[in-house]
Structure 1
């Protein structure tokens, strides 16, 4: 059976990697190991996240369905007010990618960021992971491992864990140890490893900035950071991924290990999303179009590029199929398997993609070349294939297409639970470059 590693960066911009043509992150410099994954596998140019903000995307990743179906995912994102709540989190009874792979015979582990509700009501081991090492919150200081409220937030399973070290390196160390341990395990189970880095999420700290940690007044670090620090944070993550690949090679596992790399949403203030506009919290392309790279020598032809439209839940559905897991008929999923594209059986298929955000009443639908977008009271129609920067609003020239896509979005929205009035929006995230009328 195929081993699976699902690597998720945090707030990584579309063009921050060399393999995506980053203006500063040239191929093989900032992200040589991730670039190599693309060189040896398949790179998707028009893949998306389920949301432009952290925890909603993670709900979709886990449930393989639109996050809007779950109450906790209607927060943008879950924050510390959910501590002690028995509603703001991923309900343990919901079938998940790890729980269904677990049933198929996999040993499952999460290393890194959870951000789907707090114990005692929620947690990784209650949703299908055999083991957990990482943080429960949305972000922590890379050295003190404290959240924005000052709480220590590093765990092994359900126990707090004190450990000195730069968090990105600690997560990489643990992932390497996981590969070695599972390769030599007596039970010989295949493994599913979720490696959810916090990099390059704020605060803006590199491996060499331990002294800076004591001077940061808030985790949002509004007064700090720069593009050099940001790229260095990406490089630290990339180094860890290189070490994981070495561990797989050492045990002869690299040929039949399916590796997927992505980000939970678009980039923050120092990211490069060229030619896209917008970023985290926006339904413009820069907030939701993210890197998607898959390496699987057994099935995926190296050096290939795909224009297939897809989003986070599709990839989780694909990994479930790769691991021979089954969908629980009581909880049907919205994710569509991309396996025919990965294996070369299909060059692609039409895949409508829908989004909504309480923040600024944002709505979006991607259908073929076209995108319907609403921000506040303004509506837009863009031909994304010709205008990825979303600057030329075609709504007045094509009113019938605008109306049809608006109605299609409204019909889809009727199938989703309404956003409750008490759902919160965090405004510490960037909302730059939203399109103007």
Structure 2
């Protein structure tokens, strides 16, 4: 375990519904992300990184536990919605060790600024699962100005108290993050590091930019904003988030903390309506590549050489395991991690190691496995086999041409699935998304 004074500060930045190719460093078609592009250029960018789920709250269960989300009942909801207020089962059990609780026990200051989406107080909540401080919404999506959820309930909190504050939510989260870094800087300088989860709601619906406060009344009864939005407002939402991240990085530099702070950026799942996922097919709620392959950027000047690009396969929970490893913190013995530390990759080790990955979704009976270059996918009872190195768009189905390989990957998925709890019969799925335009068998 590294000496306390050498342990890094950690900032885990998560966008919401960001597409694989929305950022400039991933081929984006508009200059919306100069700060993130610079972090990638000065650090490490992953091209074969995935989310644990193609929908938000299941990924967040994996992110906070460093374990497959399927181990917890709440993650069977795809996703948890505002109707779960008052539930005693649909949330993150407070007795379960988490990334923040393990870091806190080892001496880290901890905070979540942004989206929680893992159950509601008084049974669940960030302060009950390892965070010293919380500011943000509890639910999956809120209006950027009124801060009301899809049921019209005000949903902005400080700790477990409802908090009313005027302002564009993306900016409020950035402001609070800058403030928190400044307040933690003296401790960090004295060898007590910090862990900040900065979980933006951008660019999740509704499609409102900083200048669109008038839209708040228009979308208050239709938070999904089905009749509105466009690629221009969507891109500006990303840019507002990027500006905020730039301010956080400036705060780190101001306090002399940038060199030994591990900053990780990703999205909770693939993109939605206005996202750019090129060259991938599908999006949110899909186990096609567009639903689960996401940006992963790591910046840590003390440990990561600049200008690195990796094809290492990884999942959300691997990054949580990596953060624990970077801090020299072990898992709770009763809750072994499913995540695999990427520290050797961050420190420049090559070649990349083999990382089998598995997914399942109640929605349309989806299942997927990736082993090496090959991916097994099932949708609506149809099996597909894709060589992703040759065919990232998943157009050429090899299932009938390579039945033995298909059987091998299917057997691997079945063996993994047998190690997980079954999907409960009462688990619900949010409709309105789903796999489209799949090739014929």
The CA distance in 2 between the partners of 1:431 and 1:219, in whole Å, is 23
Counterpart for residue 3 of structure 2: none
1:263 paired with 2:267, answer yes
Counterpart for residue 195 of structure 1: 198
Counterpart for residue 418 of structure 1: 422
The CA distance in 2 between the partners of 1:293 and 1:433, in whole Å, is 30
2:279 to 275, 284, 293: 275
Write the deviation string for residues 168-190 of structure 1: whole angstroms up to 9, x where unpaired: 00000000001111113497521
TM-score of the superposed pair, with normalisation by structure 1: 0.98
How far did 1:81 drift?
Answer: 2.3
Write the deviation string for residues 210-264 of structure 1: whole angstroms up to 9, x where unpaired: 0011011311111100000000000000000000111011011111000000000
Counterpart for residue 337 of structure 1: 341
Counterpart for residue 141 of structure 2: 139
Counterpart for residue 92 of structure 2: 90
The CA distance in 2 between the partners of 1:103 and 1:383, in whole Å, is 44
The CA distance in 1 between the partners of 2:274 and 2:103, in whole Å, is 37
Counterpart for residue 180 of structure 2: 178
1:315 paired with 2:319, answer yes
How far did 1:323 drift?
Answer: 1.2
How far did 1:377 drift?
Answer: 1.2
1:305 to 303, 309, 331: 309
1:212 to 190, 211, 215: 215
Contact 2:187/2:193 (8 A) holds in 1: no
1:16 paired with 2:22, answer yes
Q: How does 1:244-259 map to 2 (within 5 A)?
A: 244-259=248-263
**Greater mean alpha carbon deviation, residues 94-103 or residues 215-224:** 215-224
- Say which SS state the counterpart of residue 197 (structure 2) adopts: strand
Q: CA RMSD in A?
A: 1.1
Write the deviation string for residues 106-133 of structure 1: whole angstroms up to 9, x where unpaired: 0000000000000010000100000000
The CA distance in 2 between the partners of 1:329 and 1:256, in whole Å, is 29
How far did 1:435 drift?
Answer: 4.3
Write the deviation string for residues 198-220 of structure 1: whole angstroms up to 9, x where unpaired: 00000000000000110113111
The CA distance in 1 between the partners of 2:183 and 2:434, in whole Å, is 40
C-alpha change, 1:430 and 1:177, in structure 2 (3 Å) is farther
**Residue segments in structure 1 that go unaligned for 5+ positions in a row:** none
The CA distance in 1 between the partners of 2:211 and 2:434, in whole Å, is 26
1:380 to 380, 384, 404: 384
How far did 1:344 drift?
Answer: 1.3
Contact 1:282/1:434 (8 A) holds in 2: no
The CA distance in 2 between the partners of 1:257 and 1:428, in whole Å, is 39
The CA distance in 1 between the partners of 2:205 and 2:383, in whole Å, is 32
1:3 paired with 2:6, answer no
The CA distance in 1 between the partners of 2:408 and 2:218, in whole Å, is 53
Write the deviation string for residues 95-152 of structure 1: whole angstroms up to 9, x where unpaired: 0000000011000000000000000100001000000000000000000000001110
How far did 1:38 drift?
Answer: 0.1
Contact 1:62/1:97 (8 A) holds in 2: yes
Counterpart for residue 4 of structure 2: none
1:48 paired with 2:50, answer yes
Contact 1:341/1:348 (8 A) holds in 2: yes
- Say which SS state the counterpart of residue 114 (structure 2) adopts: strand
Write the deviation string for residues 277-320 of structure 1: whole angstroms up to 9, x where unpaired: 00000000000000000001111110010000000000000001
Counterpart for residue 35 of structure 2: 33
How far did 1:434 drift?
Answer: 4.0
The CA distance in 1 between the partners of 2:26 and 2:427, in whole Å, is 35
**Greater mean alpha carbon deviation, residues 78-87 or residues 426-435:** 426-435
Contact 1:384/1:390 (8 A) holds in 2: yes
The CA distance in 1 between the partners of 2:75 and 2:358, in whole Å, is 15
TM-score of the superposed pair, with normalisation by structure 2: 0.97
Counterpart for residue 125 of structure 1: 127
How far did 1:155 drift?
Answer: 0.4
Counterpart for residue 404 of structure 1: 408
- Say which SS state the counterpart of residue 210 (structure 1) adopts: coil
How far did 1:436 drift?
Answer: 4.2
**Residue segments in structure 2 that go unaligned for 5+ positions in a row:** 1-6
